[in-house]
Amino acid sequence: MAARTVRRIERSLPWPAFALAVLAIAFFALPLVGLMSRAPWSDVGSILGSTAVRQALKLSIVCSLCATALSVLLGLPLAWLLARKRFIGRSFVRALCTLSMVLPPVVGGLALLYALGRRGVVGQYLDRWFDVRLPFTSAGVVIAQTFVAMPFFVVTVEAALRQADAGHDDAARTLGASSWYTFRRVTLPAVRPALVAGAVLSWARAFGEFGATIMFAGSLPGKTQTLPLSVYITLDSDPQQAIVIALLMVAVSFGVLVALRDRWLGGGERAT
Amino acid sequence: MTLRAHIVVARGSLNLDVWLNAAPGEVVALLGPNGAGKTTILRCLAGLLAIERGSIEVLGRVVDDPSTGTFVPSEQRSCGVVFQQYLLFPHMSVLENVAFGLRARGADKAAAYDQARAWLGRVGSEGLERSRPDELSGGQAQRIALARALASEPKLLLLDEPLAALDAGTKVDVRRELRRHLTEFAGSAVLVTHDPVDAYTLADRVVIVEQGHVVQDGTFVEIAAHPRSAYVAELVGVNLLTGSMMGGIFAVDGGATLVVAAEDVDGAAIAVIRPQAVSLHASRPEGSMRNVWTATVIDVDHRADRVRVRLQGPIQLTAEITAAAADALRIKVGLQLWAAVKATEIAVTLN
């Protein structure tokens, strides 16, 4: 077969807009270049192999995955409630549940401390009745991360649920499907791309979480000191290590975003 | 009665208050303009909308009655619905769509798929099992939607503008098939449409709904003969003649023939003639008109400045003329006169 020539009509961008766009790209690329220029490349292997870094990496991965799982478990019913049910005070509830997206994380951590801390509104009973103490534990890290990460999942999935045709749910009901069966077989598959996108976004937010974690869970190596915390803590004592950890975080986050973006975040084919 | 309903519900500016019955095997068409409340009636019957007053009874079982607090949810009503936009599940194959109702009610996968395949065969859609809904043409999607609704063996079948989204060519085939399935269907069916031809060809009885109220109820022929308002006359007061087309000649069932401007259609057809297009004459009209016959006036219906005249003869139809013309012709029951229709005034649609 003869090769087909594909003619493309490029829409030209006015050059000032083009220049600004390039500037924006540089703005994001330069800090990475800065980090890399200071990296102790010959020692990267030994630093990454050190117990402290390995501990922090493992803790970060486990906690952020737990936070993502919790965000999906609680966030999915919440998104469905906000998208499909009409009730008084819905916009108030929506604002409340997405507040932590715009709240400084440190404030969130402080608030968590007064809610779930040993002398907090609920925390004192957790302590007294169940002997459960959340602050300054790995579970506390998960709580802090979930607090800031879940809204990303909720907002993404709620928007998709609103957009999805509720008529399909109606059709399922008339065919004899219970509301649970309808939710599982019709509603969820319709918003699957958003589920994945929301989970990835909230994972990325949890993985990079710093402020709420340090307030609520402190920075105990091996227990609550995740990668972002260890960057901050070691910057004074061992800047080389801080830079390596920072680059590690960049690599992991970047890798996940690139791997998933084309499939789920609207980069390539888009489910309509 | 399969269906006995009194539906009272308010939706926005619409205040719906209708009585609706359907006997076993009966197909009832709800005919009316957009916004009359036809779709709202279907949603109430299907249990997708609760009524505010009245009651809905299907096969003697009350499914909605606010006065006793009864409300049977949609999934327990056995109402099959064919939605206007079909609403096939986009992430499932055609086979999974048709099997959905059976699976949802707990049938095992193999049995549900076998039954779904049988239904696909019945609607003439073999070979589409693995297709996705977005790969289907309008006619195919309509057939699949019908198969999906019928596969769960509903007692009541509700069809919302089942042919509205189809192009003219497909519509004829799908309407013919739909009529066959409706005839075979043992339960009652309620069909929403704004096309008098659909109501005429598919339904046993027509219920005219206007602004949330039933304005007339009866067979199509009865309503067309005695439209109770100018609006109904406009909507269903057209002359529909069944017959067949052959080489530009429409043979009316019963023997008479009409010359028709459409020459490229052959087969079973319906001729649509507006009453205004029928002219009446005291003596045989001169000129080029080829569709001329003698007729006897059997009914005269005066409405404002117009007069509707029912005619008996080789072709039975209704003519609408001005009051002045009626006076000039001294129109009265029993009068013999000449009727004429121009070939270009006869629209033919294949049946």
If phi > 0 it is left, if psi is from -120 to 50 it is alpha, else beta; for residue A89 that is left
Q: What is the pLDDT of residues B140-192, one digit of tens each?
A: 999 999 999 999 899 999 999 999 888 877 888 889 899 999 999 989 999 99
Spatial CA neighbour of B47 closest among B21, B12, B71: B71
Give the H or E element holding residue B231: helix B230-236
Amino acid in the structure at residue B97? N
**Nearest CB to B75 within list A167, A176, A192:** A176
Cβ-contact A195, A271 below 8 angstroms: no
Of the candidates A167, A176, A182, the beta carbon closest to that of B85 is on: A167
Question: B139 CB contacts (<8 Å, ≥6 apart)?
Answer: B166, B170, B173, B174
Question: Which residues on A lie below 8 Å from B152 (Cβ)?
Answer: 175-176
Residues of A in contact with B85 (CB under 8 A): 167
Closest CA to B323 of B309, B310, B307, B347: B307
Instruction: Indicate which of A165, A169, A173, A175 best probes the interface with B, i.e. most B CBs within 10 Å of its own CB.
Output: A175
Query: What pLDDT, on a 0 to 100 scale, did the predictor assign at position A3?
Result: 54
B101 touches chain A (CB under 8 A): yes
Instruction: Please state the separation of Cα B207 from the chain's center in Å.
Output: 10
The residues, ordered by sequence, that sit 6+ positions from B228 with a Cβ below 8 Å of its Cβ are B215, B216
**Which of chain A's residues have a Cβ under 8 Å away from the Cβ of B132?**
none
Instruction: Inform me whether the C-beta atom of residue B135 falls under 8 Å from chain A C-beta atoms.
Output: no
To which residue do tokens 């990835």 refer?
A200
Cβ pair B75:A174 closer than 8 A: yes
The DSSP secondary-structure symbol of A9 reads: -
Evaluate whether A212 touches A23 at the Cβ level (below 8 Å). Answer: no
Phi, psi of B251 (to 5 degrees): -95, 110
End-to-end CA distance of chain B: 30
The ipTM assigned to this model is 0.80
User: Measured between CB atoms, does A168 come within 8 Å of chain B?
Assistant: yes
- Please check whether residue B133 touches A, CB under 8 A: no
Which strands sit side by side in the sheet containing B188-193, from one edge to the other?
Answer: B79-82, B156-160, B188-193, B27-31, B205-210, B213-218
CA atoms of A128 and A186, how far apart (whole Å): 44
Separation between Cα atoms, residue B266 and residue B277, nearest integer Å:
23
Q: Considering Cα of A53, then A56, then A62, then A66, what sign does the dihedral take?
A: negative
Distance CA B146, CA B140 (A): 10
Pairing of the two strands B188-193 and B156-160: parallel
Indicate yes or no: pTM above 0.90.
no
Are B2 and B58 a contacting pair, CB within 8 Å?
yes
* Closest chain A residue to B86, measured at CA: A171
3-class SS at B62? Answer: strand
Q: Tell how far CA B279 is from the center of its chain.
A: 28
| Chain A, nearest residue to B44 by Cα | A174
Pair B151, B186: CB distance under 8 Å = no
User: Considering only CB atoms, which chain A residues are within 8 Å of B90?
Assistant: 168, 190
End-to-end CA distance of chain A: 33
Quote the pLDDT of residue B70. Answer: 92
Q: What is the DSSP letter of B343?
A: G
What pLDDT, on the 0 to 100 scale, is given for residue A28? 93
| pLDDT at residue number B224 | 79
Other residues' Cβ atoms within 10 Å of the Cβ of residue B7:
24
Radius of gyration of chain A (CA): 23
Specify whether the CB–CB gap between B283 and B338 falls below 8 A: yes
- State the SS3 of B27-51: EEEEECCCCCCHHHHHHHHHCCCCC
Q: Which residues of B touch A173 (CB under 8 A)?
A: 47-48, 73-75
Low-confidence ranges of chain B (pLDDT < 70): 263
Residue-by-residue pLDDT tens, chain A, 272 positions: 455 666 777 777 888 999 999 999 999 999 999 999 988 888 888 888 888 889 999 999 999 999 999 999 999 999 999 998 888 999 999 999 999 988 999 999 999 999 998 888 888 888 888 888 888 899 999 999 999 999 999 999 999 999 888 899 999 999 999 989 999 999 999 898 899 989 999 999 999 999 999 999 988 888 999 999 999 999 888 888 899 999 999 998 888 888 776 655 544 444 43
